[in-house]
Structure 1
Amino acid sequence: MTALIYWVIVALWLTVLVTVVTAAARGKYEVDGTTWLLLAVLSIDVVRNIAENFYFGLLWGSRYGVFPAAIEAALARPELLILPKILNVLAALMVLVILLWRWLPLAARERSEALQTMSAQSAQIAREAEEQRLLFETSVDLILVIDRLGIVRRVSRSSAAILGYAPEEVVGRDGSTFAEPGQYERLNAALGLLAAGQHVPEAVAEMRHKDGHRVTLSFLGVWAPGLDAGLVIGRDITERMAAAARLDRLAYFDELSGLPNRVSLLRDLTAALEAADAPPLALAVLDLNSFKDINDFLGHSTGDRVIGAIGARLARAGSDRCRFYRSGGDEFFMLLTGAAGSDEASAAVQNVVRLLEERVDVDGYRLFVSISCGIACAPEHARTCDELIQNADLALGAARADGRKISVFTPAIRRNARARQEIESELRRAVAQQEFVLHFQPQIRLADDAVVGAEALLRWNHPERGLLAPAAFIDALGHSPAAAEAGQFVLASACAAAADWREKGLGALRIGVNLFPIQFHSRTLLDDVEQALARSGLDARQLELEITENIALGHGDDVLDVLKALHQQGIGLAFDDFGTGYASLSYLLRYPLTRLKIDRSFVQKITDAAAPEHAAIVQSILVMAHNIGLEVVAEGVETDRQAAFLRARGCEEAQGYHFARPLPRDAFEAYVAARLAPSAICQG
């Protein structure tokens, strides 16, 4: 039995040894250095135990007859009996050597590495804690740590700057209590996401500052599992939102009047026209006729305050159906929705016009503005935004042209505008292709019926309509940019013709040239005159420039300065169509005039059957002109009776069909030559 126990122990230790060796050979387990040392010690002890128990197993087995008795005799010697003890000592020594040589240094190194790792982890934790502390101490953004119930557990010091609450006033309270009432639902939904461990996407919420004003925050949140809490970061965007609002107002509102601007008009008008159930609507454009005078004479600052006062009136007059806009300058728009037609729109606009024409008190001035207005309706007159605005503008132009306050668009207005546009295009072509020609109407000295001059009159040699008189195009040309080039052509051609007549012996005839208003606007009249005289060689005293009352009234001191400079060069200046406008008689003294031209409308009334007052008017003009040293030319003389009347009253010169119609250049030269004595021609 004793021998069997030893053999069982041997078998068990062999099993242990085989298992350890097999596992180490296969590399089944990943072990560190210390474990390898322990396995080595175990292996030594296993070998020792196997040897010792194998020895005693043989010894006791032979003693009890399991093995031959000779084995016992061989193993029972004293020196062999002590062998297991020697093996125990040797094994213990080997283990001690291994422990001292390998395990203790390895264990010390691993302990040192473990301590270093723990130290690094502690330092990392300390750094993270410090960074977190600094973040909460120095962040300009609002940082909140919120638990699953929405209670603030920690907050950054920036809460004092952003919300006006010190951190200790925020911690322990529900975060949503700092929000504006209308934001509770949004914030509670965000807290629900955090409590569920989800991220909160960036959102905007209105918070309430401690002093009561609103603070706009842009915030986002994440759930931090390590903290078992939600981390919320909010950024104050109050100023940014205010700046965005200011930019939005600048984009859609007019600064002076406070009304929506043209961009808003286009947006609202497009939306109204494109709506599926769009009601009929009317668009009116309102223009302040006298606003330029306010700016010119009282200053732009006063003009700006007038615009502000007008805008305030319109804002008060606005409603859900009636909205007002300022498109710039002195132009306003009125959008009336649900208008039953042009009659209802006109009535509504008439009320607005009366409101705007009431007195405006600004800067100590009592001012009045007059209004012109054009109206277009949809869908009656237009179906698109651009077309409606265009038609309202066309109606405004018609109101101005007709002297009315309000004009409603009609197709005829567009046809007239298109005709003006077409003639404008044709006038530009006429200048470019030199289709204009000059005719000349003789000016007769009544004392002896001698030709002393001519008025240069423009004709248009139209390629399709033939030769056109001024009545067909002169008004359109006067308002066209092409008038400047046409005026230069007339001036140069007239001077060249007069110089040529002198060369041909027809005498030093005076040439009269009508001026367009645009020639004063362009500020090149002096240069144009000097160039025309220089190129033609004409004496300045033979040139007479004719201005109308409209030019004198419309340009004031600008005209006066130019006319003085021309007069100093010896150029004659005639006041044309006198008596037909509104010029004050003081203009006759103010301007350096040399001649007055009585309008044909007065001359034609001098007949045998005419009322005495008609003749008295002409006679009064003659007396007045002579008293201030002006010579007189009577226009439109068609009868001998008129010529005789003028001659008897001392009128110096006349022109009209009674003497000759306007003639082409060749015909005019023949006319003058026929009235000259043969000797005079030879002497020329």
Structure 2
Amino acid sequence: MRQEEKKTIRAAILGALLFLLIQIFHSSLNLDEDWSLLAALYLIAGCCSVAFGFAIFAQGWLFFSNRLSKARLYASALFLGVCIFDFLHTLSFVGIPWISSYISSDESLWLLTSSRLASALGILFIFSRKAPAVSYSHKSRLFRVSLVLIVLSLSVFFFGRTIFPQLLTDAGESTLKQIVDIAVLILYLIGVVAILFPDKQEKSASLLIIIRSLIFFALGQTFYMYPLHLGDVDYLFGMICGVVAYYFLLTGVYRLTIEEPYHEKQQIEARINYLAFHDDLTGLPNRRRLMQRVEEMIKNTNKDEARSLSAVAILNINHFKNINDSLGHFAGDLLLQMVSQRISSEVKSHEELFSMGADEFAFLMKEKASLEDSLVRARELLGLFETPVNLESSEYHISLSLGLSIYPGDGETAEQLIQNADTAVHNAKEQGVDIRRYIPAMQMKAKERLKLENDLRRALERDEFYLVYQPQVQLETEEIVGMEALLRWNHPKRGLVSPADFIPIAEESGLIVPIGEWVLRTACLQNKKWQEAGYRPICVSINLSMRQFLQPNLAGKIGSILSEIGLDPSYVDLEITESMTLDKETAFEQLKRLKELGVFISIDDFGTGYSSLHYLKNMPIDRLKIDRSFVAEVMEDSNNAAIVSTITSMAHHLKLKVTAEGVENQEQLQFLRQQRCHEGQGFLFSKPIRAAEFEVSFLQSSMLGMPH
């Protein structure tokens, strides 16, 4: 329970005990015989009530006028009138000359009852609902209305005593007065309930303080009620309770309408400031904060001191897109948090970690003695990920690439240092290395890459792509049984652009989806034309990218293309990579839909990705393609030979076909035959060639051997 809630409960208990004690020891407290002392104490208490009432008016009306709320203004207007009535009551009740001659003590009790009735109704109306902000013009209108109501109320009172003199002069015994007193008490209690229980939300400290004031207003009201009234001393206790209630109300209104909105504004500003300089996912400082810190570092660094060398490192998670696409964005976000936590736990003094958004982090190293020290620290950071991470109840080995820029030397401004480190990390990923320090030549390459992406966006509409075909041969007979369609780009100025240069760019930019669809349509159309020309039907293998594979309507698209072309799906082999099967459920459903079309499914570059052999047997696939990196050194490296032998043996047990890529010599061919590898492709049989050459070299020659 919060402190303010405990205080409110204690206030209620204390008030009840106080009332009971006063009733029990009433006779010893009776000051009726010493009226002068009673009047003096009553006057002091009454003036305190008036002062607190005027303070409620002043703090909401006269001060901080640029921060207006409806509750604050209405409370101010209400207690301006209430304190006027209380003031007239106090002066007339204690017998101040001239006032008492004009307003009798019984009449003054009606003034007090009227003020208490107004405060009970006003507090119930104002604080039992939310208080929106209001304009300054609303304040002016409310001020005018308040003055009119105060004057009208006083007029009703003074004219009423001439019309109903008996009613006002017998206030102590009046049945109407008793009914009104009970109604006031009930209204105070209703106010407590209305503020406390309209919803289940936790109440603010200020509202709890206002509830305390209502408790003491209600307690004070009981002392004025005729059935419980035993003497004039009860009026004194009633007024003292009113003073306490006014004090609590003054405090509560101030906190509710001024202090809490101010603190709330501070919290909002602090939150906005935090979000402006921190990554919401990882909680790390973001790029904007990194810029500030690097600028401070440059400002405080003495270029002439050798020991003042500093470094900015950009770290990028390798293959993060594959993990994010395969396992989903939730798993990707979780991985980012795990990476940030693992690095954060190793941050030392004069080092800071930042989030750059997406899958990039920045690591600021200050006061390093040499470049070698920076490189050693960089290798330590990458070494943190030699142990796998646990993701969705499975272990995954991840790696990071790191780009480094050094100050002074690799940039004069924060923007240059960060940009150059980012250029270095992308260069490291392209080169397949862990760490690269920035060199100016990288900037030229980055610009070239950007230009290449722009050219790639127009290559499809300019008809700059074409396909080449590499035969797939049955190893026992060396008979052609299929072909793989491979994409090539003939740039109008650059000439032939290597697939290793433009395929990664197409993947990152999303252009691989329309390009992949063009490859699929073109390869299938060419295969259909060859069949219509009378050549023996063979299967064409087509690579699918990760982005293509994750399309929900992929099977529908491929089915429509095959139906439009009129090609039997059994002559199409779709090649995927192991990384596409990371999310087992999604991959299985997608493969199942593709198999329902009647196409074949192969896993390309098998053995180089995220192998999960325990569920491979359940995947609806037809063939494994052994990566060329294993075949290339199969005769020199016993480990590669063992891998090829294991994959082939496993495929036979799973009743899958095996195709070896990169077969370049007779020794490799002989070894693969010994392992009972079904098919092969590589330069030993043919390099990838254009459709016309493929037709002459393989399709026509195979027809010559066919019986007529």
Aligned counterparts, 1:104-253, within 5 A: 138-141=57-60, 238-253=259-274
> What pairs up with 1:339-354 in 2 under 5 angstroms?
342-343=371-372
**Per the alignment, in what secondary structure is the counterpart of residue 536 of structure 2?**
coil
Q: Which amino acid aligns with 2:568?
A: D
Deviation of the 1:278 alpha carbon? 8.9
Gaps in structure 1 of 5+ consecutive residues? 1-130, 145-156, 162-233
Look up the match of 2:591: 563
Q: Could you give the per-residue CA deviations for residues 71-94 of structure 1, whole angstroms, max 9, x where no partner exists? A: xxxxxxxxxxxxxxxxxxxxxxxx
Rounded to whole Å, the distance in 2 between the matches of 1:622 and 1:266 is 54
Structure richer in strand, relative to its length: 1
Residues 189-210 of structure 1, C-alpha deviations (whole Å, 9 max, x = no match): xxxxxxxxxxxxxxxxxxxxxx
Q: Confirm or deny: 8 A CA contact 1:272 1:278 kept in the other structure.
A: no
Measured in 2, the distance between the counterparts of 1:593 and 1:564 equals 9
Aligned counterpart in structure 1 of residue 600 of structure 2, from 572, 576, 584:
572
Shift of 1:423: 2.9
Separation of aligned partners in 1, 2:470 and 2:519: 14
For residues 207-249 of structure 1, give each alpha carbon's deviation from its aligned partner in whole angstroms, at most 9, with x where no partner exists: xxxxxxxxxxxxxxxxxxxxxxxxxxx9985445433432342
Alpha-carbon distance between aligned partners in 2 of 1:470 and 1:569, rounded to the nearest angstrom: 29
Tell me the CA shift for residue 396 of structure 1.
Answer: 3.9
Q: Distance in 2 between matches of 1:667 and 1:677?
A: 15
Shift of 1:502: 0.8
* Deviation of 1:508 (Å): 1.7
Q: Which amino acid aligns with 2:601?
A: L
Deviations 1:99-151 (A, max 9, x none): xxxxxxxxxxxxxxxxxxxxxxxxxxxxxxxx99985563234979xxxxxxx
Residues 514-553 of structure 1: matches in 2 within 5 Å? 514-553=543-582
Residue 504 of structure 2 corresponds to residue 585 of structure 1: no
How much does 1:302 deviate?
A: 7.6
**1:634-653 correspondence runs (5 A):** 634-639=660-665, 643=669, 646=672, 650-653=676-679
| Closer, same or farther: CA 277–466 of 1 in aligned 2, 3 Å | closer
Match of 2:659 among 628, 633, 646: 633
Partner SS, residue 591 of structure 2: helix
Counterpart-to-counterpart distance in 2, 1:283 and 1:428: 36
Shift in Å at residue 504 of structure 1?
0.3
Provide the aligned C-alpha RMSD in A: 5.2
Q: 1:561, CA displacement in angstroms?
A: 1.8
Please tell me the residue identity of whatever aligns with 2:598: G
Shift of 1:313: 5.8
Asked if residue 451 in structure 1 is aligned to residue 509 in structure 2, the reply is: no
2:314–2:421: 8 Å Cα contact kept in structure 1?
no
Change (3 A) 1:645 1:267: closer
**Superposition pairs of residues 275-424 of structure 1, within 5 angstroms:** 282=310, 284-285=312-313, 287=315, 289=317, 325-326=354-355, 333-335=362-364, 342-343=371-372, 373-398=402-427, 407-424=436-453
SS in 2 for 1:547: strand
Deviation at 1:512, TM superposition (A): 1.0
Instruction: Provide closer, same or farther for how the CA distance between residues 249 and 488 of structure 1 changes in structure 2, counting only shifts above 3 A.
Output: same
Q: So what's the TM-score if we normalise by structure 1?
A: 0.54
In structure 2, list runs of 5 or more residues that go unmatched. 1-49, 64-74, 80-253
Render the CA deviation track for 1:151-189: whole Å, top value 9, x for unaligned: xxxxxx99xx9xxxxxxxxxxxxxxxxxxxxxxxxxxxx
Q: How far apart are 1:639 and its partner, in Å?
A: 4.3
Query: Using a 3 Å threshold, how does the CA distance of structure 1 residues 247 and 385 change in structure 2: closer, same or farther?
Result: farther
1:657 to 683, 690, 695: 683
Q: Flag the structure with more relative contact order, 1 or 2, with Cα contacts below 8 A and sequence separation at least 6.
A: 2
1:539 is aligned with what amino acid?
D
The SS at the match of 2:412 is: coil
Deviation for aligned residue 1:466: 3.2
Query: SS in structure 1 opposite 2:540?
Result: strand
8 Å CA contact 1:252–1:264 kept in 2: the answer is no
Identity over aligned residues, as a percent? 32
**What is the 5 A alignment of 1:602-613?**
602-603=630-631
Q: Which residue is 1:675 aligned to?
A: 701
Structure 2 CA distance for aligned equivalents of residues 393 and 487 of structure 1: 29
Cα distance, 1:530 vs structure 2: 1.5
Q: Offset of 1:489 from its aligned partner?
A: 1.2
**C-alpha distance 274-632 of structure 1, shift in aligned 2 (>3 A):** closer
> TM-score normalised to the size of structure 2?
0.53
Question: CA–CA distance in 1 between the matches of 2:343 and 2:421?
Answer: 20
**Aligned length, in residue pairs:** 460
Residues 342 and 241 of structure 1: is their aligned pair in 2 closer, same or farther, counting only changes over 3 Å? farther
The answer to whether the aligner puts 1:513 opposite 2:513 as a matched pair is no
Deviations 1:528-579 (A, max 9, x none): 31132122110011101122334334x5432222112111221111222334
Aligned-residue offset at 1:272: 5.8
Partner of 1:452: helix, strand, or coil? Answer: strand
